[in-house]
Amino acid sequence: MVLEVEHLDVDYRGVVAIEDVSFRIFPGQMIGVIGPNGAGKSTLVKAILGLIPSTGGIIKFRNSPVKKQLNSIAYVPQRTQVDWEYPITVLSVVMMARTAYTGWFRQPNRRSKEIVKSALERVGMWELRSRQIGELSGGQQQRVFLARALAQQADLFFFDEPFIGVDKYTEDIIFDIFNELKRDGKILILITHDLGDTLTKCDHLLLLNKQIIADGSVKEVVTSENLQRAYGNNILFLNREQKSA
Ligand SMILES: Nc1ncnc2c1ncn2[C@@H]1O[C@H](COP(=O)(O)OP(=O)(O)OP(=O)(O)O)[C@@H](O)[C@H]1O
Ligand SMILES: [Mg+2]
């Protein structure tokens, strides 16, 4: 059940965003993707999901193309990339995860309703199920998208900066869910700009800046030399920011 990415290239109208990125992840593992703003982290995930075209490379999950298996892949997008004005309730957002099972125009069956309810309860959002998503706090919005990912009962999970703008309560829920998913043998890909404690939960790290700067265990990747290569002098600023956070 391995996810394999080989020699992936992506560009936006001729401007290179990702170049020759290769890695593989195994069941029960969480891989952390780190790197400066504009490094191509979100692009990498979108390209794996087929949301944007790649210019080269191979992406395989369980030995076949990812595009044919989107039902078993859950994606929690970066909050800044979601249109929160879109008029839709919390319950409907999470129910969307079930359309693959029930079809667009059919009523969700009892099992789907139960799965959606338990996912919303899991993240403490069942009480707010009738709210519009635009009327939620950042942490609450994040938890709704987490519930949607859970309700999808996927095998491969992508989380793009799930910790931004969330409180300790939400953060703890997210970490608990990561642990449960790993225990269940799922594959997790976590994009984060937090270079602190979050990374210690990752089994494997990719340090990205268009290309892979370093790849391996947290200890191997998070060295001042590697960080300097990826972030340049901004790393000083980054350290300061983290200490005051
Ligand atoms: N739709 C787009 N059209 C053109 N260029 C884009 C598009 N999306 C991203 N880019 C560019 O591609 C590069 C990688 O962007 P990407 O969003 O993947 O970075 P990121 O690592 O996720 O950054 P951040 O930490 O800010 O989320 C950047 O230079 C960005 O300006
Ligand atoms: Mg991003």
Confidence of residue 107 (pLDDT cuts 50, 70, 90): confident
At 94-103, the pLDDT tens digits run 999 998 766 6
Task: Please give the pLDDT value at position 151.
Answer: 96
Task: Output the CA 160–ligand 2 centroid distance in Å.
Answer: 7
Nearest to 48 by CA among 58, 37, 38: 58
pLDDT at 243 over 60: no
Nearest to 147 by CA among 175, 113, 114, 120: 120
Q: CA distances (Å), 161 to each of 24, 54, 75, 212, in order? A: 20, 22, 11, 19
In terms of DSSP H, where are the helices of 138-244? 138-151, 168-183, 218-221, 224-231, 234-244
Work out the burial of residue 213: count CB atoms within 10 Å of its CB; fewer than 13 is exposed, 13-18 middle, 19 or more buried: buried
- Whether 40 lines ligand 1, by a CB cut-off of 6 Å, is yes
Token reading at 80? 């800044």
- Of 185 and 109, more confident: 185
For ligand 2, a single-atom ion, the residues with CB < 5 A are 41-42, 78
**215: which strand partners?**
206
Q: Which atom of ligand 1 is the closest one to the Cα of 40?
A: 18
Confidence of residue 196 (pLDDT cuts 50, 70, 90): confident
At 12-42, the pLDDT tens digits run 999 999 999 999 999 999 999 999 999 999 9
- Of 19 and 84, more confident: 19
Q: Nearest residue CA, atom 12 of ligand 1?
A: 17
* Residue reference for tokens 């899991």: 122
Q: What's the DSSP call for residue 96?
A: G
At 50-74, the pLDDT tens digits run 999 999 999 999 999 988 888 899 9
Task: Please give the pLDDT value at position 235.
Answer: 59
State the pairing for strand pair 30-34/187-191. Answer: parallel
Average pLDDT over residues 129-156: 94
CATH at residue 206: 3.40.50.300
Q: What is the mean pLDDT of the chain?
A: 90
pLDDT at 233 over 80: no
**Spatial distance between the Cα atoms of 55 and 136, rounded to a whole number of angstroms:** 38
State the pairing for strand pair 211-216/204-209. Answer: antiparallel
**Spatial distance between the Cα atoms of 153 and 156, rounded to a whole number of angstroms:** 9
Task: Output the CA 74–ligand 1 centroid distance in Å.
Answer: 21
**Spatial distance between the Cα atoms of 82 and 136, rounded to a whole number of angstroms:** 13
pLDDT at 2 over 50: yes
**Spatial distance between the Cα atoms of 132 and 134, rounded to a whole number of angstroms:** 5
pTM of the predicted protein model? 0.90
**Spatial distance between the Cα atoms of 243 and 110, rounded to a whole number of angstroms:** 48
Tell me which of 79-83, 130-134, 239-243 is least confident: 239-243
Task: Output the CA 237–ligand 1 centroid distance in Å.
Answer: 21
Q: How many domains does the chain have?
A: 1
Give, in degrees to the nearest 5, the angle at Cα 101 between 97 and 107: 85
Tell me which of 128-132, 224-228, 234-238 is least confident: 234-238
Range of the domain at 68: 3-244
Task: Please give the pLDDT value at position 18.
Answer: 97
